[in-house]
Amino acid sequence: MVDVWSLALIALGFPLGATRFRKYSKHLSIFLVYIDAPILGFWAGVELKAQLHSVLAPSLALLVAFIPIVLFRDDCPKRGAFAITSAFGNTIFLGIPATLALGGSVDSALVYAMVTTFIHYTLAAIISCKEGKARIQPFTVTFLLGLLLSTSNISLESIEWTKRIGAELSKLGLLLLGLNFNREVVRLSKDVMLIGLLKHVALPLLTLPIFLMSKDLTLLIESSMPPAFMNIALAMVYGYDVTLTTQAVITLTVLWIFPFAILSVLFHK
């Protein structure tokens, strides 16, 4: 969600990116992917209350991700960067405000975000370019553990503080935008245009039949979000093309802002 803390971290990342602090991007990414994300994954599993359509819709991201996996099967860094940026959007930081602005359901958006993140992190680990890296993502394990515990009578009140801390620490990922920023990353290259076509056209079109059956506008809103900021951290951890990933995240987010602003005004007339 957008708050003062989040905006401050985005702003702070740009001056830090021009200093020696830039070299700590990799360390921050490892922390976010292997320590903070599993905490969030656990609570996502515990709190998941899903209807069939809200699980099926985010699963369509796998079909979109499969396209670059096949196209670039001989170029692992490019394949990974394409797969995660073309299929997995910013479902929380941008997705929730967009859902509120366009009249969708926040509850449905949260379910979409939980399921999408589970698929996102699991796939990122499976197609890792790092030799010898485990193909099991900690987020996957903790999410499934959370689902299991959600069906039991075990009280988790004593550790609920970890959910709040995990949510706040996850915002550190916003630093990565500034730390990895340079003038070259805001560029509408052919690769970024193809990623945009997959993310903003192919995925919403695949989602359209489920929307027509469920009448849940949130599914279309969330499926059209620009690439998630955490894609940058995943690219660093799993050896994907970080430059391409950063280009796609920043460029498509900037381009997304304009149509979103217009739609927000139209929906509130």
Domain annotation covers residue 212: yes
Task: Tell me the pLDDT band of 35, cut-offs 50, 70 and 90.
Answer: very high
With pLDDT > 90 as the criterion, what percentage of the chain qualifies? Answer: 49
Q: Is residue 24 part of a domain?
A: yes
Domain extent for 55 = 20-173+185-267
CA distances for 178 relative to 7, 171, 181, angstroms: 11, 13, 5
The answer to the question of residue 15 being in a domain is no
pLDDT digits (tens, 9 = 90+) for 136-180: 789 999 999 999 998 888 888 899 999 999 988 888 888 887 787
Residue 74 lies in a domain: yes
Residue 107: inside a domain, yes or no? yes
Please indicate, yes or no, if residue 109 is contained in any of the structural domains: yes
- Is residue 7 domain-resident? no
Higher-pLDDT residue of 19 and 269 is 19
Beta-carbon contacts of residue 243 (< 8 Å; ≥ 6 apart):
184, 185
How many domains does the chain contain in total? Answer: 1
Please give the model's pTM, rounded to 2 decimal places: 0.88
Tokens read off for 43: 């609570």
Smallest CA-to-CA distance from 115 within 55, 47, 38 is with 55
Q: Please answer whether residues 48 and 118 qualify as being in contact, where contact means their C-beta atoms are separated by less than 8 angstroms.
A: no
For residue 178, being part of any structural domain is answered with: no
